[in-house]
Amino acid sequence: MPLDYRRFNGPEDSVSYKRFTKGYLKSYDELYKESLDDKGVRKDGRALSEARSLFARTDMVSQAKGSSYVELRKTKVVCSVFDPREIPHQNEFSQLGQIFCEVKFAPFSCPRRRRPHVPDAEEKALSVALRKALEPTVCRHMFPNYQVDVFIYILENDGSCLSAAINAAGLALADAAVPMYDVITSCTVAIVGEKMFVDPTEAEENLATISPSTPINHGIITLSMLSELKQISDFTQVGSMDVECVVKAMDILDKECARLVPLMQKVLVANVLKCFETRKRLEEEANEKEQLLNAKMDEWKKLLKFT
Amino acid sequence: MAGLLLSQSEKLFIVHGVQDDYRSDGRSNLDYRPMELETDLVDTATGSARLRLANTDLLVAVKTEIDVPSPDKPDLGKIEFNVDCSANATPQFEGRGGDQLAVGIANLMQAAYQSSQAFNLKQLCIFEGKQCWKLFVDILILECGGNLCDAVSLAVKAALFNTRIPCVKAILMDGGDVDLQLSDDPFDNKLLDVGTAPLLVTLCKIGDKCVVDPSAEEESCSVVSLIVGITGTPSCYSDQENLAEVGGKFSTIDMNGPGSVAPKTLKDAINQGIVAAKLLDKALAKALINERKENIRTKKSSYGFLK
C-alpha cells in the first residue's frame, strides 16, 4: 500500500496502543452482552427494530450544484453533486449518461483506525455500491455522453455509512435538479443469530462481522429501494446466513426504507419552498434597486433639461 | 459482450423461451454449460487449477507465504485474491481497461470468503499471534466469454482443494521469537479443508425469471444480474460420514448492472441460486475427488499446458 511520506508513519509493524486497552480485548460473548441487554434494549437505548433518528438537510455546500447533509446520531455524511460534464477520456459515444461516485472517509472518521488519505479498498467498494444504487434511480437517458459527479465525504462513521451515503446522495441529486424516477432511500441491518439490529452502530456492525464459534447466522445487509416503484436498486450482503434470515431481513428493510420516504419528501419540499422564497426575495430586492435607479435616472434627466 | 447486436424479435424469442424454462441452446434455467477442469498444473505454485466454461478460460494459482497475523485476529490466517485481466482475453482489457472488473471480482471473492463459516482461516494458523500462513490466490483471465464470477469461484475452490501446505512446527523461543521447524520430507504436508468454500452463482434476470450461466446473447437481453455466494457442503468433499449438514448459506449477495429488481423477483432468485449452487457444488466435488484419485494412481502424462 502506498504510504504518505509527508508524515511520520512509525515502524512498519507498529500497532495502535488502543489495541491493548480493555475495550478492545473483550471476547465475543462480552461484546454481545454489551450491545444488547436482557430486556432487548441496545446500548444506546433503542429497541432492536428502532432506527436512529435522522437529520437531513439540503443546500449544504454553496459551490456545488446540489448538496446535502445526513446525520444518524454519530454517523455524519456530506454529499455534493456537480453539473453534468462531458465524460473525460472516452472515445465512444454513450447513449446513457454516467454517474461518477466517490466515497471518502475523513482521516479521523473511524474509531478503530486512522484512514489513509489515498482511497483504500473499502472506499472503492463503497463508491461502486453507491454508483450501482444510483444508476437505476437517475434518468440517465436525459444526459447522454455526460457524467454527473457525486462526492460523499464521511465526517464521522458510526455504522450504516453506506445507507447514510445513499440517502444523502438521493437528496443531493434532487437538490441539483437531476431528473430521477423516484426518491431513493436505504437502510442497513446487522444480524447476529436471531437478533436483527436495524440501523446498526459501528460496534454492532463489528459484532456482526466477527465470525462466531457456533454456526449461527451473522452478517450485514444493506438495501436501497425506490419505494413508490417497489424496486430494489441495490442489495449487498456479507457474512453468512440462510434463506429465511435473508427474506426476513428484506421485509424489515423494505418497511424501514418506506418509512424514510415521507421524511425525505419533507426535506425536499422544504428545499423547494426555500428556493421559492429566496427567488422571491431576490426579485423584490431587484425591483427595489431598479426603482431606485429609475428615480436616479429621472433626477439626472431633469438636471440635463435644466442645463 | 460488446459488438453483439440482436434484433428486437431475437430478444423476444429468448425472453419467451426463458419464461417457459427452455433456453435457445436446450438448457433449462438452472443448467450450466459443460466445463473442463484440471488441477495441479503449475509446478511453481502450491495449488493450481484451470477451468474452461464455454469460452471463458481461467488459470488460478495459489501461493503461500508466512506472515504475521493481524492483531485483532491473532488466531486466523490470511487469504488475498488478485485478479489479472490479461489483454489476451479481449482488447478492452489493454492497459488499465480491465482494472475495474478485476477489482470488482476480487472484492466479491474477498467478501464471500470473509466468514469463518465459508472458509475457516484458523487452519492457516501456525502459532497464535505470531505466525500464520497467507494464501495469495492469483486469478488469471485468459479468455473472457461471459459468466466470469461463477467460473472464478469454481476455479478458486478447485485450486484451494489442490493446495498442500507444508507441515511446520512452531516453537516459542526466549524473548518471544518464534522458531519454525520444517520437516525434511517434501511429502509431509497437509491439505486444506475447503468443503464449505463458497461458490458464486450469477443469476441473470430475463423478463421476470432468472437464468444461471447466461450466454452472450442472453446477457444482452438483461439489464440486471444478481450474484449470490453460497457456502459449500463439506460432506461432498470428504469420506467421513458423521459430518453435520451445514452449508447452503449465503456468504455474499450483490447486484450487478444498471437495472433494478422487484422484491419478489429477488426472493425467487436467491432460492433458485441456492438450488443451482448445491448442484454445482456436488458436481465439482465429484470431479475434484476423481481427479485426486487419478493423480495418486498414475502420474499424469503431461501433454501441452493448455491442451
Question: Which CATH number does the domain housing residue B205 bear?
Answer: 3.30.230.70
Residue B187 in grid coordinates: 511429502
**Is B8 contained in some domain?**
no
Answer whether B260 sits within 8 Å of A226, measured CB to CB: yes
Is residue B270 assigned to a domain?
A: yes
- Does B5 reside within a domain? no
pLDDT tens sequence across A125-164: 889 889 989 999 999 888 888 999 999 999 999 889 999 9
- Lowest mean per-residue pLDDT among A54-68, A106-120, A190-204, B156-170: A106-120
| Mean pLDDT, residues A259-269 taken together | 92
pLDDT band at A189 (very low <50, low <70, confident <90, very high): very high
Question: Residue B6: what are its φ and ψ, rounded to 5°?
Answer: -120, 140
Give residue A115's pLDDT. Answer: 73
Q: Measure the CA–CA gap between A180 and A194, rounded to whole angstroms.
A: 37
Compute φ and ψ for B75, nearest 5 degrees. Answer: -100, 10
Structural element, H or E, at residue B28 = none
A&B contacts, CB < 8 Å: 92
DSSP-derived 3-state class of residue B84: strand
pLDDT at position A88: 83
Question: What local confidence, expressed as pLDDT, does residue B1 receive?
Answer: 44
Do the domain assignments include residue B2? no
Inspect the interface and report whether the beta carbons of A232 and B262 lie closer than 8 Å: yes
Nearest chain B residue to A212, by CA: B116
Q: How many CB atoms lie within 10 A of CB B250?
A: 29
Q: Supply the DSSP symbol for B221.
A: T
Q: Which residues of chain B have pLDDT under 70?
A: 1-4, 239-247, 296-307
The answer to whether residues B281 and B235 touch, using CB atoms and an 8 Å cutoff, is no
This complex has an ipTM of 0.84
Phi and psi, residue B213, nearest 5°: 50, 65
In the predicted model, what is the mean pLDDT of residues A110-122? 76
Q: What is the pLDDT of residue A221?
A: 92
* Chain B contacts to A (CB-CB under 8 A): 68, 71-72, 103-104, 107, 111, 114-118, 224, 226, 231, 244, 246, 248-256, 258-263, 266-267, 270-271, 274
B120-to-A213, A216, B192 alpha-carbon distances in Å = 11, 15, 9
State how far the Cα of A184 lies from the Cα of A261, in Å rounded to an integer: 8
Is A259 an 8 Å CB contact of chain B?
no
3-state class (DSSP) for residue B131 = strand
Mean pLDDT of A51-64: 88
- Set of cell numbers at residue B48: 493450481
> In sequence order, which ranges of chain B are alpha helices (DSSP H)?
8-19, 99-112, 148-162, 216-219, 263-297
User: Do the chains contact at B258 and A24, CB–CB below 8 Å?
Assistant: no
Total domains in the fold of chain B? 1
Residue by residue, DSSP assigns chain A as ----TTS----TT---GGGGSGGGS--HHHHHHHHB-TTSBBTTS-BTTPPPPEEEEE---TTSSEEEEEEETTEEEEEEEEEEEEPTT--S--SS-EEEEEEEE-TT--SSSPPPSS--HHHHHHHHHHHHHHTTTB-GGGSTTEEEEEEEEEEE-SS-HHHHHHHHHHHHHHHTT--BSS-EEEEEEEEETTEEEES--HHHHHHHHSPPSS---EEEEEEEEETTTTEEEEEEEEEEE-HHHHHHHHHHHHHHHHHHHHHHHHHHHHHHHHHHHHHHHHHHHHHHHHHHHHHHHHHHHHHHHH-
Strand partners, B171: B179
Distance CA B27, CA A77 (A): 48
Q: Which residues of A touch B246 (CB under 8 A)?
A: 215
In sequence order, what are the residues at sequence separation of 6 or more whose Cβ sits closer than 8 angstroms to the Cβ of residue A293?
A: none
Domain that holds residue B59: 27-297
Contact B20, B211 (CB under 8 A): no
CB of A113 less than 8 A from some CB of B: no
CB-CB neighbors (< 8 A) of A221 in chain B:
253
User: pLDDT at position A148, please?
Assistant: 92
The sheet that has A146-156: what strands, in order across it? Answer: A54-58, A66-72, A75-86, A146-156, A98-105
Note whether residue B181 is domain-resident.
yes
What integer pLDDT is reported at residue A70 of this predicted model?
Answer: 93
Q: How far is the CA of B63 from the CAs of B42, B46, B140, in angstroms?
A: 11, 5, 13
How many percent of chain A have pLDDT more than 90? 39
Question: Chain B contacts of A135, Cβ < 8 Å?
Answer: 258
- Is A217 an interface residue toward B (CB < 8 Å)? yes
Q: Is A31 on the interface with B (CB under 8 A)?
A: no
Report the residue count for chain B. 307
Residue corresponding to grid cell 437517458? A141
Per-residue pLDDT tens for B115-154?
888 888 888 888 888 888 999 999 998 888 778 889 999 9
**B252: which chain A residues are within 8 Å (Cβ-Cβ)?**
236-238
Q: Inform me whether the pLDDT recorded for A74 exceeds 80.
A: yes
CA-CA distance, B131 to B178, in Å (whole number)? 8
In this structure, which topology does domain A26-298 adopt according to CATH?
A: Ribosomal Protein S5; domain 2 (3.30.230)
Taking an 8 Å cut-off on Cβ atoms, the answer to whether A211 and B260 are in contact is: no
CA distance B127 to chain A (A): 17
- Please say whether the beta carbons of A270 and A68 come within 8 A: no
Which one, of A283, A278, A272, lies nearest residue A66 by Cα? A272
